[in-house]
A and B are shown apart, each in its own frame.
Chain A
Amino acid sequence: MASIAEHSPDQFEFRSLLNLTLLTGLRARDLAELVQHMRTVPGAVIYHHTHHFLVQHQYLSPEPPNDFAYWVSNILLEERLGEELAAVDVLRFSTVRDLRNALVQVIQGFLDRSSNLRTAPPGEEFHFMQSVSYVIPTGIRVTNLAEFHEGLERVSLRSIGYHMFDARLRLERGDNDFSRWLDQSLGEHSLAEAFRKIDPYTYTQEGLRRRLLNLVGQRMKEQGSGRA
């Protein structure tokens, strides 16, 4: 795993994550097929269907941020199960593996107590896809809060997504990159904690950017008034 601050320990370099979508050829018409594939597909498939929504349908947030919940609610019209799937709190999990298990468990629980399975109308089957992710340094490097604020304004939404979602869950770093850097390099423990507390899955991407900017801006103001 590459370090997030290769240039100097106190420097943070924004990276971005660009996804290419691979078709797996697997499709599901009902919940039995859905859960069967969910158990066996690569983690990058589960990641795709729980995260691509955030960027591609960002205006839907805080609607179900995962494709499984969306398909179950809107195509199969199993609203209760859809709600349960949407409510799976991704922040509780630190690996895609654990997230997969939780989603599978919810669906399996439903299957165990239902006898009739609804089938998706032709053409509206669930298509399993996989993200191939390319991580690319943006060249934007920051060493203090003011520069960090400016960087957050400039980078793409995908870059913020990478540091907030992917770093923690997919790359299993245990924390989002911003909090880690704020904590370890700037000693900004309370700001780091404020970032950590945010449930990024409940924001639109642009809303998340604004929220982060707000927190950093507030902290800069405090520092300014502290000095004065």
Chain B
Amino acid sequence: MAGLEEYTPIVGEGVIAELRLLGERLSGKRVLNINSTRVGGGVAEILNRLIPLLREVGVDARWEVIRGTQEFFDLTKRMHNALHGKPDTFTAQDREIYNQATEENLSALDLSSDIVFVHDPQPAGLVRARRDLGNKWIWRCHIDVSAPAPGAWEFIAPTVEKYDLAVFSAPQFSRELPLPEVLIAPSIDPLSDKNRELRESEVEEVLQRIGVRSDKPIVTQVSRFDRFKDPVGVIDAFRLARERVDCQLILVGGGATDDPEGAQVLKEVRDRAADDADIHVVDLPPTSNIEINAIQRASTVVIQKSLKEGFGLTVSEALWKGKPVIAGAVGGIPLQITHKYSGILTHTVEGTAFWIKMLLSAPEFAARLGENGREHVRNNFLLTRHMRDYMLGFLYLDTAGDSVVEL
């Protein structure tokens, strides 16, 4: 796995030196990360990379995973959906299930570090150990809790309010809390298989494997087959654009096989694509990082036509590859794209079609959007910035109140 030094050519010597300096200020600080899964999902992905890098600069970072019954994880899945706004009712029995899992994990885990850094609602209840241990607790909320279903926030609020600090990914995902809240956006790892530079032959090989010829411009959307990603709208926009500019479309997603709704959406997408030879619907296993990377790199324009979105890191992935991106102005996407500078924000099928045509017909403008987007990602959405913000968050616990702190 890449060490910090390997990021120097990407972000510059000064940025890496700053990370090491921050590490010195936090040297030996014990930081225990807790989430609910070791594999799969963005949180596990980022912890896998951040823990070794934090350790490299001197932070004594560790990572533990809570355990729970199927019943508990069914409940936390419902909580997750309800915090996103899906109506649900939480009963005294649900509370009992949550409390029992929390108790079991409290006896299994050693929480006596200087900082306990808890990710998402599943392990949040562990904070009840804070009073006895007297250490600092951070709650890292990776989801949008600004418009929860009635009762959902109330279920978790008394727990969250016991923390010293809350961390949100975007200002519009947050809500008012009686504790300090900081903004820390997620990030992509430029050295991971999904984002690292690829040889031309690697890109060609993937295109061949999925049966796409690079003889005309490629428009791509990478996302799960999910209605909120509007894949059918992407097909409609593509067809409108193709009336004027010859091009082809790749819709690439994964994981539809074990998700009944995903399978249904995939079917709708295939029906809409019918036997159109210019539309390639590609269903890949979730581990297909190099394939996704290659498809993004082979693309002329990348679309992320989401109707509803979390942070939408696939946008940063495409921008990092210098691609002009057309995306829905929802969730965290406007943080990544400034309209007409580092990409295009659209709201409709027709608008998306218009901008596909524009970008295919004005390659110089498209290239400038891509370059600006890449620089924006370099400064704001790479792993090194994420690591810096986490370390500043750790320092904040001891310096809260001052707006300028001399280290």
Interface status of B375 (Cβ within 8 A of chain A): yes
Q: Which A119-136 residues have C-beta < 8 A from chain B?
A: 123-125, 127, 129-136
In the bound assembly, the distance between CA atoms of A105 and B407 in angstroms comes to 36
Chain A minimum-CB-distance residue to B389 = A20
When distances are taken between beta carbons in the complex, the residues of chain A under 8 Å from B174 are 23, 25
When distances are taken between beta carbons in the complex, the residues of chain A under 8 Å from B338 are 57, 60
In the bound assembly, the distance between CA atoms of A79 and B341 in angstroms comes to 17
Contact with A along B374-399 (1 / 0, CB 8 A): 01100110000000110011011001
Q: Are B18 and A158 within 8 A (Cβ)?
A: yes
Select one of A19, A123, A130, A134 contacting B330, CB under 8 A.
A123
Q: Are A18 and B18 within 8 A (Cβ)?
A: yes
Q: Are A138 and B18 within 8 A (Cβ)?
A: yes
Which one of B72-80, B177-185, B349-357 contacts A?
A: B177-185
Interface status of B342 (Cβ within 8 A of chain A): yes
Select one of B12, B177, B376, B380 contacting A156, CB under 8 A.
B12
Interface status of A184 (Cβ within 8 A of chain B): no
Q: Quick one: given A59-B342, A59-B376, A156-B14, are A18 and B404 in contact (CB under 8 Å)?
A: no
Q: Quick one: given A133-B404, A134-B405, A171-B404, are A18 and B388 in contact (CB under 8 Å)?
A: yes
Give min CB distance, B166 to chain A, whole Å.
9
In the bound assembly, the distance between CA atoms of A56 and B396 in angstroms comes to 21
Contact with B along A18-55 (1 / 0, CB 8 A): 11111101010000000000000011100000000001
Q: Quick one: given A20-B182, A23-B182, A134-B407, are A127 and B22 in contact (CB under 8 Å)?
A: no
Q: Quick one: given A60-B338, A156-B14, A157-B14, are A23 and B404 in contact (CB under 8 Å)?
A: no
Q: Are B403 and A131 within 8 A (Cβ)?
A: yes
When distances are taken between beta carbons in the complex, the residues of chain A under 8 Å from B407 are 134-137
In the bound assembly, the distance between CA atoms of A225 and B368 in angstroms comes to 41
Interface status of B150 (Cβ within 8 A of chain A): no
Interface status of B402 (Cβ within 8 A of chain A): yes
Chain B minimum-CB-distance residue to A17 = B404
B→A interface (CB under 8 Å): 12-15, 17-18, 21-22, 25, 168, 171-172, 174-177, 180-184, 329-330, 334, 338-339, 341-342, 372, 375-376, 379-380, 388-389, 392-393, 395-396, 399, 402-407
- Listed by A's residue number, 27 A-B pairs whose Cβ atoms lie within 8 Å are A18-B392, A20-B182, A21-B182, A21-B183, A22-B181, A23-B168, A23-B181, A25-B174, A27-B171, A43-B403, A59-B342, A123-B329, A123-B330, A129-B183, A131-B403, A134-B399, A135-B407, A137-B407, A138-B21, A154-B13, A156-B12, A156-B14, A156-B17, A156-B18, A158-B14, A158-B18, A170-B404
